[in-house]
């Protein structure tokens, strides 16, 4: 109850009376209480209450009424109720001042968040999307009721036009005249080997596809294949 009152009184005595040691402050305040109230208040009990106050424990700090009134007088208040009210007003003012001081920052943060949400919403609405359908990509609208977020990909014209899943055979052309690959492969989620017409990521696993090799052709597609 009187924790803050006692701490404030000690701080004032240290600052204004030039007292450095806690025992000297305790003696000064004890004498002040006696002179102000006419009632004795020992140094020992005052020191115990002060130690409890600064220890931040659950120990109750409650002075005698006359002692509390005297310390209030020392701090410039006529009664504890005046001191208590002053502390409440100060706390409220501190919160108000903190808000005012940081008002611009708060507003900027809010504006940034709202701006980001608006830009994101606008981008999603105007962005073109595509999904994988069996063996190719198709352009679709952003609709999470029809398509899951994992399936929706940002539209890529090259993916739409050139990236297909194919079933190669012995008659397939695997390399250009310069020897560059024309087929890529990778395993799906069921660990089944699949082949694609362009370099990219596997539509199911997201792993980078590998370029076809003569070894892979002979082992999995056409054992009679001859690159030359």
User: What is the per-residue pLDDT across 91-115, written as a single tens digit (0 to 9) for each?
Assistant: 445 555 666 666 777 778 888 888 7
pLDDT above 50 for 89? no
| Greater pLDDT, 197 or 63 | 197
Whether residue 197 is contained in a domain is answered as yes
What the block records as the tokens of 146 is 């029809």
* Cα–Cα distance, 132 to 138 (Å, whole number): 6
Question: Considering the entire predicted model, what is its pTM?
Answer: 0.46
Q: What is the CA radius of gyration of the chain?
A: 40
* Cα–Cα distance, 199 to 196 (Å, whole number): 8
* Cα–Cα distance, 173 to 182 (Å, whole number): 7
Which of residues 90, 120, 142 is at a domain's end? 90
Chain centre to alpha carbon of residue 166:
45
Three-state SS sequence of 60-103: CCCCCHHHHHHHHHHCCCCCHHHHHHHHHHHHHHHHHHHHHHCH
Contact 10, 29 (CB under 8 A): yes
Whether residue 182 is contained in a domain is answered as yes
Q: What is the per-residue pLDDT for 44?
A: 83
Q: How many domains is the chain built from? A: 2
Whether residue 126 is contained in a domain is answered as no
| Greater pLDDT, 108 or 78 | 108
Q: What is the dihedral of CA 62, 67, 73, 78, to 10 degrees?
A: 70
Whether residue 198 is contained in a domain is answered as yes
Average pLDDT over residues 22-35: 83
Which of residues 55, 90, 125 is at a domain's end? 90
Which of residues 73, 90, 107 is at a domain's end? 90
* Cα–Cα distance, 207 to 188 (Å, whole number): 9
Whether residue 138 is contained in a domain is answered as no
Range of the domain at 20: 3-90
DSSP secondary structure letter of residue 171:
T
Whether residue 73 is contained in a domain is answered as yes
Whether residue 26 is contained in a domain is answered as yes
What the block records as the tokens of 114 is 């709202």
Contact 201, 228 (CB under 8 A): no
Give the pLDDT band (50/70/90) at residue 128.
Answer: confident
pLDDT above 50 for 45? yes
Whether residue 218 is contained in a domain is answered as yes
């Amino acid at each position: 109850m009187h924790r803050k009152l006692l701490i404030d009184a000690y701080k004032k005595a240290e600052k204004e009376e030039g007292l450095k040691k806690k025992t000297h402050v305790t003696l000064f305040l004890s004498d002040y209480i006696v002179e102000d109230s006419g009632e004795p208040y020992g140094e020992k009990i005052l020191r115990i209450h002060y130690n409890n106050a600064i220890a931040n424990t659950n120990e109750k700090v409650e002075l005698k009424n006359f002692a509390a009134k005297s310390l209030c007088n020392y701090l410039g208040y006529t009664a504890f109720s005046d001191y208590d009210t002053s502390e409440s007003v100060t706390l409220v003012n501190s919160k108000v001042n903190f808000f005012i001081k940081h008002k611009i920052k708060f507003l900027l943060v809010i504006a940034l968040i709202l701006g980001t949400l608006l830009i994101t919403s606008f981008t999603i609405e105007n962005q073109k999307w595509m999904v994988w359908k069996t063996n190719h990509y198709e352009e679709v609208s952003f609709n999470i009721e029809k398509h899951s977020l994992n399936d929706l990909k940002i539209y890529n014209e090259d993916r739409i036009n050139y990236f297909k899943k194919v079933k190669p055979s012995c008659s397939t052309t695997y390399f250009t005249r310069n020897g560059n690959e024309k087929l890529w492969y990778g395993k799906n989620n069921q660990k089944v080997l699949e082949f694609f017409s362009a370099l990219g990521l596997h539509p199911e696993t997201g792993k980078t596809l590998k370029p076809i090799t003569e070894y892979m052709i002979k082992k999995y597609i056409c054992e009679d294949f001859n690159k030359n």
